[in-house]
Amino acid sequence: MEYINRTIENTIDKYIGIYPVIMITGPRQVGKTTLLNHLATKEKEKINYITLDDMLIRTKANEDPELFLRTHEPPLIIDEFQYAPNLLSYIKIIVDEARKNEMFGSKKKVGTLYYLTGSQVFQTMKNVSDSLAGRIGIFDLYAFSNREINKEKEEIFIPNIEKLKLKTPSKKLPTLKLFEKILKGGYPEIHFGNKVNYENYYSNYIRTYIERDIRSIINIKDENKFVKFISSLAARTAQELSSSAIANDIGIDHKTIDEWISILKNTGIIYLLKPHMNNNVGRAIKKPKMYFMDTGLACYLTGYTNAETLEKSAYSGAIFETYIINEIIKSFSNHGIDHQKHLYYYRRTWRPQ
């Protein structure tokens, strides 16, 4: 299978050797491991690899993290790192010892010792921030952008007409072709893997997501209700988020809905776009708009399997807006810029004269 270059490669490459720890986060199956393994082939020093998807390895990492790190020497890629968060404090000790040795001992440059991948689970990310502050570079990876699929240069989207005129335009598409792209989404396996039926792919994706990610975070008593919840959310993409409306739809209490939304957000399935306000208090009070981070997954969950039907549906406007917002978010993330600090939505309330 051909490797497709990712825009974020150049961003990460600048920090390899500077940060002792590099972490790539993002939803499952967006290509985090493939990206790191590709970057590893460009390094002069051999980089070892281990995955915590392997239950035996995961058990060893959790039971004796110190021995685990002594057994697997750096530089080391630790895949699906969120399954053994106890490794963090021992990685910190190793990094600090290496830095101390660089300053007062052998003078050997520390470089990058560990490469971590994992989904954006809130508690894991909090532990990373607390334990490895000043020692880690964190990068968010999403599914392919349109320009990555087309193998074109991708730049940050800046809403300035003069700068937009300077960008090389993508090939114009008939509307139906555009909705075919929207229907497929951006996951690598759909576009560049062995030819797979996209409905089967997303069906397996949801099952894997619930079994590997959701069950490790919360105890879901009724999987059918969770699937109904995520489908209800997909139908509301590009709308202001209303937890109470979703709770009424599927018969679950408001508190559970908020918890589940937080999980989807922190595992990269959805994105909450904050409103533009003149003050931070107003921004915290007003409702965010919710977007699915892959249009193909959203279409599958809402039952759309045909581009022509999708184009003519009442859902077309919302899913097209979702597609555009996804592209803008990816353009920031792929260049290492925190989109949360730069992107907002603006809604002007109409008042009769």
DSSP assignment of 116-182: EEE---HHHHHHHHHHSTTTEEEEE--SPPHHHHTT---------HHHHHHSPPPPP--HHHHHHHH
Residue 278: strand, helix, or coil: coil
- Token pair for 69: 């790190």
Give yes or no for a contact between 244 and 2, defined as CB atoms under 8 angstroms apart: no
- Give tens-digit pLDDT for 307-351: 999 999 999 999 999 999 999 999 999 999 988 888 889 876 555
Q: What are the domain boundaries of the chain?
A: 8-140, 160-335
Positions in the chain short of pLDDT 50: none
Please give the pLDDT value at position 134: 87
Residue 50: strand, helix, or coil: strand
As a residue count, the chain comes to 353
Q: What's the CATH fold of domain 160-335? A: Arc Repressor Mutant, subunit A (1.10.10)
Please give the pLDDT value at position 191: 85
Please give the pLDDT value at position 1: 64
pTM of full prediction above 0.85: yes
Task: Assign domain 8-140 one CATH number from 3.40.190.10, 1.10.10.10, 3.40.50.300, 3.30.70.980.
Answer: 3.40.50.300
